[in-house]
Amino acid sequence: SQQGEEDPQALSIQEGENATMNCSYKTSINNLQWYRQNSGRGLVHLILIRSNEREKHSGRLRVTLDTSKKSSSLLITASRAADTASYFCATVLRGGSNYKLTFGKGTLLTVNP
Amino acid sequence: GAGVSQSPSNKVTEKGKDVELRCDPISGHTALYWYRQSLGQGLEFLIYFQGNSAPDKSGLPSDRFSAERTGGSVSTLTIQRTQQEDSAVYLCASSSVTGGWETQYFGPGTRLLVL
């Protein structure tokens, strides 16, 4: 079953605007990661946030994590048409024996030029 | 190449046939993962290798699915007697302690269509 649920399922914005995507999960995690997927093929790792962290930045990306609410958000600032893609959150569960990722269903982001 | 590669890129097969999907991980990555992405189920974990052994096969959907890894490198995912519900994109990923084990690097996937 899916651990993460992204919200919204689809988001359409204009170039230059900010995009915010949310992810909720159900069980205790070791870390949470965000991935991008273009055209339904390979996934690209964007950013990882550990369970003891609250916020991380990477370029135009900002990720927050609220373990009390079991939720995370991904903010993309000053969006570009090239940011158009599907974005997935993925969790690594606490106490797991390996590092397998459990993915949400994703948010389809469209950035209009 | 420097990244994870998978072959074939696309595979069309008839129901009941066997298929083999190949994954070449990043050189030196000891951990290898197979995932499946389908419209109905999203992205699902299939199997995890550490070296040549597979301590977690919990995601394999049926005994028609098997995977092996040789030499701590190349992995093959085999689907026997394919069914239409096996149609999906099969993604391989690898990671390494020295490369930051928590970050998985994905290949471009194999799109499988079972007719």
Residue A91 in tokens: 């969790």
More confident residue, A103 or A42: A103
Mean of pLDDT values over A46-55: 95
From B113's Cα to the closest Cα of chain A, the distance in A is 14
- Tell me which residue of A61, A62, A49 sits closest to A4, measured CA to CA: A49
Task: Report the alpha-carbon distance of residue A26 to residue B94 in Å, rounded.
Answer: 26
Report yes or no: B30 and B72 within 8 Å, Cβ to Cβ: yes
Query: Which residues from chain B sit within 8 angstroms of residue A45, using beta carbons?
Result: 103-106
> Quick check: B108 and A41 CB within 8 A?
yes
From B6, which residue of chain A is nearest by alpha-carbon distance? A42
Q: Take residue B99 and report the two structure tokens written for it.
A: 């490369």
Whether A1 shows a pLDDT value over 50: the answer reads no
Question: In terms of C-beta density within 10 A (0-12 exposed, 13-18 middle, 19 or more buried), how is residue B97 classed?
Answer: exposed
Q: For residue B42, give the nearest of A35, A44, A103 by CB distance.
A: A103
A92 near B CB under 8 A: yes
| Cα of B31 to nearest chain A Cα, Å | 9
A100: chain B residues, CB-CB within 8 Å:
33, 45, 48, 56, 59
Is the bond leading into B8 cis (omega within 30 degrees of zero)?
yes
d(CA A73, CA A24): 9
Tokens describing residue B42: 């999203």
Does pLDDT of A49 surpass 80?
Answer: yes
Look at residue B104 and tell me whether its pLDDT is greater than 80. yes
Pick the range with the lowest mean pLDDT from A77-81, B40-44, B84-88.
Answer: B40-44
pLDDT band of residue B99 (cuts 50, 70, 90) is low
pLDDT-derived band of residue B97, with 50, 70 and 90 as boundaries?
confident
Structure tokens at B114: 């079972």
Residues of A in contact with B55 (CB under 8 A): 97-98
Confidence of residue B1 (pLDDT cuts 50, 70, 90): low
Q: Is the pLDDT of residue B73 over 80?
A: yes
Tokens of A95: 């106490």
Structure tokens that stand for B1 in this block: 């190449």
Query: Who wins on pLDDT, B41 or A67?
Result: A67
Q: How confident is the model at residue A97 (pLDDT cuts 50, 70, 90)?
A: low
The partner residue sitting opposite A97, judged by closest CB among B55, B59, B95, is B55
Q: How confident is the model at residue B100 (pLDDT cuts 50, 70, 90)?
A: low
> B53 exposed, middle or buried (CB, 10 Å; 0-12, 13-18, 19+)?
exposed
CB-based contact A45:A74 (threshold 8 Å): no
Per-residue pLDDT of B7-34, as tens digits, reads 999 999 999 999 999 999 999 899 999 9
